[in-house]
Amino acid sequence: MLVKSTSTIEITRIEGATTWNATDVLAVEEPLEIRIAWILASVTTEKSISITMRTPGTDPDLAAGFLFTEGIVRSPAEISSIRHCGRQGSSSDDRNVIRVELSDGVSIDWKRLERHFYTSSSCGVCGKTSIEALAVTATPLREGPSATIDSILTMPLALQKEQSIFSQTGGLHAAGLFSGEGKLIAIREDVGRHNAVDKVIGAQFLEGATPLSGAILMVSGRASFELVQKALVAGIPILAAVGAPSSLAVELAAEYGMTLIGFLRDDRMNVYCGRERVTVGR
């Protein structure tokens, strides 16, 4: 199945009084419907739980990361298979529908599925219908690890260098996992910042690498409540963002012992909580 993350279109470019025909490369944005299927008493049941606007590519990582960071599954062993599927009544494959089949005997907290899971590329937490639905499925973080100021300051450029689709379009968010020494472990891109986070966490989850207690998560945009929540579920102790955090993001990070960094760019940063993990030195 051919997956296109970019699209080329004809445009009119204007600079001052001069106009000319040109082409531009856009980041693809398409809906992805996530379904889950499970077997109970030899009967297979399938339920659609989310529609999110995303950039096609690494959809299994996105689906697994979404289920994990939302607290629906806790272990990769709870997932039997992940595959694209056709819409109901259609025999053709549809790259915008993905089906996650749960393993036999998996017990799911179906009350978590009662919230409204519609999200868009610019909106995540606002799609949830009640404050109670925002409860974090996480435990307070332990003290370590720490990272030096110098190593943290190298992360924005390291992330930018690996943003292959952003370099073509200028229109994608990125989420990268780094070691405490500032080495890039993994990166994912998407039109939605929460999708990029789900993708990069989901890939590690499927490999059995969670909790990510030794990792630093860096995002190319702002730090919202939802991104802090997802990082906490994955056990990530440090979250750094190029942009600003929200007040609720800072409150949640402080409550669970996370180090939250904002405005990480141009050789500077603000540490909003968890200062003890940020050390001086090389």
CA distance linking residue 51 with residue 118, whole number of Å:
5
CA distance linking residue 225 with residue 134, whole number of Å:
9
CA distance linking residue 106 with residue 244, whole number of Å:
39
| Residue among 217, 220, 214, 183 at smallest CA distance from 202 | 217
Locate 36 and state its tokens: 């889950």
8 A C-beta contact, residue 15 and residue 4: no
CA distance linking residue 57 with residue 28, whole number of Å:
10
CA distance linking residue 79 with residue 246, whole number of Å:
33
| Residue among 23, 85, 17, 95 at smallest CA distance from 56 | 95
DSSP code of 148? E
Q: Is 123 a catalytic residue?
A: yes
8 A C-beta contact, residue 267 and residue 153: yes
CA distance linking residue 18 with residue 114, whole number of Å:
55
Q: Which of 85, 123, 126, 273 is catalytic?
A: 123
Residues annotated as part of the active site = 123
